[in-house]
């Protein structure tokens, strides 16, 4: 048995790895950008850096394990591990054998120490990138809130804002709603949800400013029907928005309120408060068929992982088995915060997106969007599905989720 070639290859590999990690730790300074990056560009960059950190950390751990295995082999093979070309030791010289084995082991330990140091640096870089991403998401939310307040304070200038054409068509309806006479009173207190807006006389669907109790104002997409005002909290229609997002993103919301978007778990919780509500789920397949489901729900706060409390018939369709005093409960899960009912897997990682997963097999309206139905069954289950309608392996074309409180309360 000859271990020397294996040892030599491992040493070369370790040296190359150390050089690569050192280069990653000292990137070449880039030229200052010629313009400000958009939120989407910054978010993509942050996600890319996080993936790079994961890859580097896994590479170091794998290499360190290989070195450990090589060290054990060197300790076991004794005299056969001497370097090629080195003078042969006397056959009965145990001192020489021990010294060579100790030297090889010391070399490996030195390399392992260097790898541990590099791994520590990568871990620190990974944590800094994750922290910066959280800061960016919080700043993005603050900017949205400030834009909402500016829109309220200057309603007469909305037609001249620098917005997209579709947004400019919607916002003037807010000016018509408040009117020149009631402008001041509405600036002091906005409707807390779309239902309250309906009760004040609004019958046109669109984007409006609302302000739930204890919240800053934000834009809501309201749908006015003969049954009252409904707040749209989710919409999928063309795959223009990536729904495979983190817990923080699902908490604060993301996307375009006039296109694909997720309103945000915290906003939905603030709208509903302690009130129960009706949840409407509208589904559409690729053959033009549509289905609309409505059921009573109650949404807890972040301390409950935004648990959705359901009645027994609905709970069985969504896979809820945990019983609370208010009924069956189903917590929300994302790839970085796993609260589903499976102990052997993370449903959000195994499928895609964030959802009230249960046991992974009942529904997921925030899954991967497919522009056509994939041939592979394993790929189809990662899509948007509602098992009791078209089955788990049929990715839907479009979905919409709407809420409406069942009991209105006068704002304080």
What is the separation of C-alpha 354 from the centre of its chain, rounded to a whole number of angstroms? Answer: 7
pLDDT score for 111: 79
Q: How many CB atoms lie within 10 A of CB 13?
A: 14
| Exposure of 164 in the CB half-sphere (CA atoms within 13 A) | 6
DSSP string for residues in 236-274: ESSS-S-----HHHHHH-EE-TTSSEE--HHHHHHHHTT
What is the separation of C-alpha 332 from the centre of its chain, rounded to a whole number of angstroms? Answer: 12
What is the separation of C-alpha 212 from the centre of its chain, rounded to a whole number of angstroms? Answer: 25
pLDDT score for 76: 67
With contact defined as beta carbons under 8 Å apart, do 272 and 195 qualify? no
Say which DSSP state 81 is in.
Answer: G
pLDDT score for 123: 72
With contact defined as beta carbons under 8 Å apart, do 171 and 161 qualify? yes
pLDDT score for 336: 96
All residues at 6 or more sequence positions from 286 whose CB lies less than 8 Å from its CB, including other chains: 372, 373, 396, 397
* Lookup result for tokens 């989720």: 401
Task: Write down the pTM of the prediction.
Answer: 0.56
Distance in angstroms (rounded) separating the CA atoms of residues 236 and 233 = 11
Show pLDDT as tens, one digit a residue, over the chain (412 residues): 444 444 443 443 344 444 544 444 444 555 555 455 555 665 666 666 667 666 766 766 777 777 777 767 766 665 454 445 545 545 555 566 556 667 777 777 787 787 777 777 777 776 776 677 666 766 766 676 666 555 555 443 333 333 333 333 333 333 333 333 322 344 458 999 999 999 999 999 999 999 999 899 999 999 999 999 999 999 999 999 999 999 999 999 999 999 999 999 999 999 998 888 999 999 999 999 999 999 899 999 999 999 998 877 677 667 666 665 556 889 999 999 999 989 999 999 999 999 999 899 999 999 999 999 999 999 999 999 999 999 999 999 999 999 999 855 433 3
Distance in angstroms (rounded) separating the CA atoms of residues 105 and 110 = 9
pLDDT score for 122: 75
pLDDT score for 326: 58
Report the candidate in 274, 360, 292 with the shortest Cα–Cα distance to residue 320: 360
Q: At what angle do helices 94-153 and 4-25 cross, to 10 degrees?
A: 30
């Amino acid at each position: 048995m000859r271990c020397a070639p294996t040892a030599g290859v491992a040493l070369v590999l370790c040296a190359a790895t150390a050089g690569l990690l050192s280069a990653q730790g000292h990137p070449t300074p880039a030229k200052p950008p010629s313009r400000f990056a958009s939120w989407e560009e910054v978010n993509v960059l942050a996600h890319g850096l996080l993936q790079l950190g994961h890859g580097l950390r896994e590479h170091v751990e794998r290499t360190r394990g290989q070195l450990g295995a090589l060290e054990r082999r060197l300790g076991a093979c004794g005299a056969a591990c001497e370097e090629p070309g080195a003078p042969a030791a006397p056959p009965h010289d145990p001192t020489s054998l021990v010294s060579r084995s100790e030297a090889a082991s010391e070399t490996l330990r030195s390399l392992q120490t260097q790898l541990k140091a590099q791994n520590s640096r990568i871990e620190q870089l990974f944590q800094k990138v994750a922290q910066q991403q959280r800061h960016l998401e919080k700043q993005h939310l603050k900017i949205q809130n400030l834009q909402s307040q500016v829109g309220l304070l200057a309603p007469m200038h909305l037609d001249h804002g620098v917005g997209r054409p579709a947004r400019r068509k919607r916002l003037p309806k807010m000016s018509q709603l408040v009117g020149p006479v009631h402008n001041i009173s509405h600036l002091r207190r906005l409707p807390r949800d779309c239902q309250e807006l309906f009760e004040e006389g609004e019958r046109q669907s669109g984007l409006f400013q609302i302000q739930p109790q204890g919240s800053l104002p934000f834009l809501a997409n309201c749908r006015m029907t003969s049954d009252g005002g409904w707040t749209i909290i989710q919409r999928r229609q063309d795959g223009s928005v990536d729904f495979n997002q983190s817990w923080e993103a699902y908490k604060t919301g993301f996307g375009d309120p006039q296109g694909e978007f997720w309103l945000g778990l915290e906003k939905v919780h603030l709208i509903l408060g302690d009130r129960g509500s009706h949840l409407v789920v509208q589904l559409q397949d690729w053959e033009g068929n549509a289905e609309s489901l409505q059921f009573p729900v109650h949404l807890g706060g972040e301390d409950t992982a935004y648990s959705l409390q359901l009645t027994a018939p609905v709970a069985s369709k969504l896979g809820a088995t945990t019983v609370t005093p208010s009924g069956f409960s189903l917590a929300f899960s994302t790839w970085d915060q796993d609260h589903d009912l499976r102990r052997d897997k993370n449903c959000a990682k195994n499928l895609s997106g964030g959802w009230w997963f249960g046991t992974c097999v009942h529904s997921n309206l925030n899954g991967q969007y497919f522009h056509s139905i994939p041939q592979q069954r394993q790929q189809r289950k990662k899509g948007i599905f509602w098992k009791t309608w078209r089955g788990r392996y049929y990715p839907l074309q479009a979905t919409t989720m709407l809420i409406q409180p069942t009991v209105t309360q006068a704002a304080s």
